[in-house]
Chain A
């Protein structure tokens, strides 16, 4: 590859991959907030799925 293409490609790939991993890592390492939160999996009392949908 020519130098300018290689520099642009590597800089872009490293920047985008680095930031993607950084924000994903932040999400994985942030403790969940106390109840009630948005997420069913964190609920203290597990409810049958049907009660959460109005089907």
Chain B
């Protein structure tokens, strides 16, 4: 049994920490863009269906797995999975629950450091008086490590290190005194800032402060349902994907947090409360800021063009400029609130990413909390520096794709099969309902056993062999040409190779070849980390055997 005796301070603290784990930058930057690209208001139907059939079951599965593993003193997925079934492979599948967090933290902390930096730049008035193009160029220069606005050399690296130090220090303070305390401060502030910005998003009037549209134009653009899109599997796949990212399921963090819950305490109501809080932040607040404000000042055509490059562009290149249309003071305050809420959304998630590794070292190698936390900071610094230095050469995106996208689906698929079919639904249902403060609907037994694993399998296969341009009709009628975004084509670097073959300019060919090199190097690095973690699990297993703890 582990000597790790940490616990949560309060039930509300646990729920806020769990909600903070789920609420991330994607709630504000990814969800509205996904909705616009996938049927507007009609997107909400597959989105909520996927939440009910996949999101809630996965939350209950992961909370149950965590509390079950915690009974035997396990606080990270390799040995939580091992405690559920003794087949040797499960503990190595559990490596995903540590690896994903370390790899995602490596680029996520960099993203988080942008928000921290932009809070200071907003307060310092850096964006005051700049044109929209100048604000956009500021972002380009920033990620190219090209400027030093505050006079600090390599400013993005400094902010990355500061952000990482902050995360590590909070983690070193423990669960209740570090992570929980930040969630109790960060989540209410995030919601407060979000409500203020949503109010501004709802009250834009054409002709005032340079606005060209009323807020209703942006809200129409976001919410008008295109029901024809409901028949497209790509839209359902996008909805299922969004549910994954937004709930932080398939990562191992939920299991880790829940492993500190005692056997007789509730998990069913806690999971629902944290899950729906995340939905509130995403759908109600996230849907009222980015798109309505952007369309109010830029118009539909310009925003349609901008969303093609994702929410990051709008969030960092456009909004700081738009806020200043409300005047100098309100522009600075709004910028501080926008990037402040993104920062709180980010840090409550990145702290969750640190806990599985720390729990693993505490449980399996008897490390104390503080050195375990600092070792996490060091690993993330080493693994994260390539995403900072070679951002433009695809390293950041590569981490995001394999660790932040594919890995989540793979691990969730494995854990749902383990829980429903190997551990067994009888024991599984007992785990979910034991100590429950709400009555869990009985039909969820059927959903968890059949619907959720099948949905996950469909999402995985749909991502593995996505047909060209998402045209499932053509694919199912025999013409199954793979899209460059499919896992298979991505693995073969098909898109990059096509670009190299089509390029004529020598400088561009060199740049693409460099990108290809760094993309492959990033994959090798991620694979090496996974194998190293697998080896550590093997050593821990042998050690437990020697000590008679298994």
Q: Which residues of A contact B (CB under 8 A)?
A: 1-2, 4-6, 8-9, 12-13, 15-17, 19-20, 23-24, 26-28, 30, 32-33, 36-42, 49, 52-55
Contact pattern, B 219-239, Cβ under 8 Å of A = 1, otherwise 0: 110111100000000000000
Complex CA distance for A2 and B214, rounded to whole angstroms: 13
* Per-residue A-contact encoding for B263-287, CB less than 8 Å = 1, 0 else: 0111001101100110110011001
Q: Is the CB of A41 within 8 A of B174?
A: no
Q: Does B41 contact A (CB under 8 A)?
A: yes
Interface residues of B (CB under 8 A from A): 3-15, 40-42, 44, 48, 172-177, 216, 219-220, 222-225, 260-262, 264-266, 269-270, 272-273, 276-277, 279-280, 283-284, 287, 362, 368-370, 435, 437-438
A53 contact set on B, CB distance < 8 A = 6, 173-175, 177, 369
5 new A-B contacts at CB < 8 Å, known A1-B219, A6-B223, A52-B176 = A9-B219, A16-B279, A16-B284, A37-B265, A55-B369
> Do residues A23 and B276 form an inter-chain contact, with CB atoms below 8 A?
yes
Specify which of B40, B222, B266, B276 lies most central, judged by the most chain A CB atoms within 10 Å of its CB.
Answer: B276
CA distance A31 to B369 in the complex (A): 32
- Are A33 and B220 CB-contacts (below 8 A) given A12-B44, A13-B283, A53-B177? no
Which residues from chain A contact B7 at a C-beta distance below 8 Å? 38-40, 52
Are the C-beta atoms of A23 and B272 separated by less than 8 Å? Answer: yes
Return chain B residues, CB-CB under 8 Å to A30: 266, 269, 437
Sample (20) of A-B pairs whose CB atoms are under 8 Å apart: A1-B219, A4-B224, A5-B41, A5-B222, A6-B223, A9-B222, A12-B41, A12-B283, A13-B284, A16-B279, A16-B284, A20-B273, A27-B273, A30-B437, A38-B14, A38-B261, A38-B265, A40-B7, A49-B176, A55-B369
Q: Which of A9, A12, A38 counts the most chain B CB atoms within 10 A?
A: A38
Residues of chain B within 8 A of A49, CB atoms compared: 174, 176-177
With both chains docked as a complex, state the minimum distance between the C-beta of B228 and any C-beta of chain A, in angstroms.
Answer: 13
Distance to closest chain B CB from A28 (angstroms) = 8
- Partner pick for A38 among B8, B283, B369, CB 8 A cutoff: B8
Interface pair A27/B276, CB less than 8 Å apart = no
Instruction: Report Cα–Cα, A9/B225, bound state, in Å.
Output: 10
CA distance A1 to B41 in the complex (A): 13
Distance in Å: Cβ of B59 to nearest Cβ of chain A: 12
Q: Are A19 and B269 within 8 A (Cβ)?
A: no
Given contacts A54-B4, A55-B370, contact A20 B269 (CB under 8 A): no
A-B interface pairs (CB < 8 A), number = 129
Q: A20-B280, A30-B437, A49-B177 are in contact. Are A54 and B269 (CB under 8 A)?
A: no
User: What's the least CB distance linking B179 to chain A, in Å?
Assistant: 12
Residue ID in chain B nearest A13 by CB atoms: B284
Residue from B13, B174, B216 within 8 A of A55 (CB atoms):
B174
Q: How far is the CB of B239 from chain A (nearest CB, A)?
A: 13
Residue from A4, A8, A16, A54 within 8 A of B3 (CB atoms): A54
Which of A13, A19, A41 is the one whose CB lies under 8 Å from B9?
Answer: A41
Q: Is the CB of A5 within 8 A of B224?
A: yes
Q: Which 8 pairs show the lowest CB-CB distances between chains A and B?
A: A8-B41, A53-B174, A5-B223, A23-B273, A20-B280, A5-B224, A9-B223, A41-B10
Which residues does chain B contribute within 8 Å of A26, judged by CB atoms? 269, 273, 437-438
CB distance from B191 to the nearest CB of A (A): 11
CB distance from A22 to the nearest CB of B (A): 8
Would you call B11 and A39 a contact (CB within 8 A)?
Answer: yes
In the complex with contacts A40-B7, A53-B174, A5-B220 CB distance below 8 A: yes
CB within 8 Å for A37 and B262 given contacts A8-B223, A9-B223, A52-B7: yes
Q: Which residue of A lies closest to B3 (CB)?
A: A54
Complex Cα distance, B266 from A42, in Å, reads 15
Assess the B9–A39 pair: CB atoms within 8 A.
Answer: yes
| Cα separation A5 to B5 with both chains bound (whole Å) | 51
**Which chain B residues border A55 with CB–CB below 8 Å?**
172, 174, 368-370
Distance of A20 Cα from B222 Cα, bound (Å):
22
- Report the separation of the CA atoms of residues A19 and B48 in the bound assembly, to the nearest whole angstrom: 13
Using CB atoms, name the residue of chain A closest to B217: A1
Contacting residues, chain A, for B222 (C-beta < 8 A): 5, 9
Cα-based distance from A55 to B269 in the complex (angstroms): 32
For the complex formed, measure the closest distance between the CB of A18 and the CB atoms of chain B, giving whole angstroms.
9
Q: How far is the CB of A25 from chain B (nearest CB, A)?
A: 9
For A40, give its contact among B9, B277, B280, B284 (CB under 8 Å).
Answer: B9
A40 to B8, CA, bound (A): 6
- Judge whether B44 and A37 touch: CB under 8 Å: no
Q: How far is the CB of B376 from chain A (nearest CB, A)?
A: 14
Complex CA distance for A40 and B11, rounded to whole angstroms? 9
Of all chain A residues, the one with the shortest Cβ separation from B43 is A8
B269 touches A23 (CB 8 A): yes
Query: What is the bound-complex CA distance between A27 and B436, given in angstroms?
Result: 11
User: Is A27 touching B4 in the complex (CB atoms < 8 A)?
Assistant: no
Query: How far, in whole Å, are A2 and B172 apart by their CA atoms in the complex?
Result: 52
CA distance A13 to B222 in the complex (A): 13
Residues of B within 8 A of A37 (CB): 262, 264-265
| Given A33-B265, A55-B368: A5 in contact with B14 (beta carbons within 8 A) | no
Instruction: Decide if B14 touches A39 in the complex (CB within 8 Å).
Output: yes
* Cβ-defined contact, A8 with B44, below 8 A: yes
By a CB distance below 8 angstroms, the chain B residues around A42 are: 10
Bound-complex Cα distance A49 to B178 (A): 11
B11 and A27 contacting across the interface, CB-CB below 8 Å: yes
Closest to B273 in A: A23
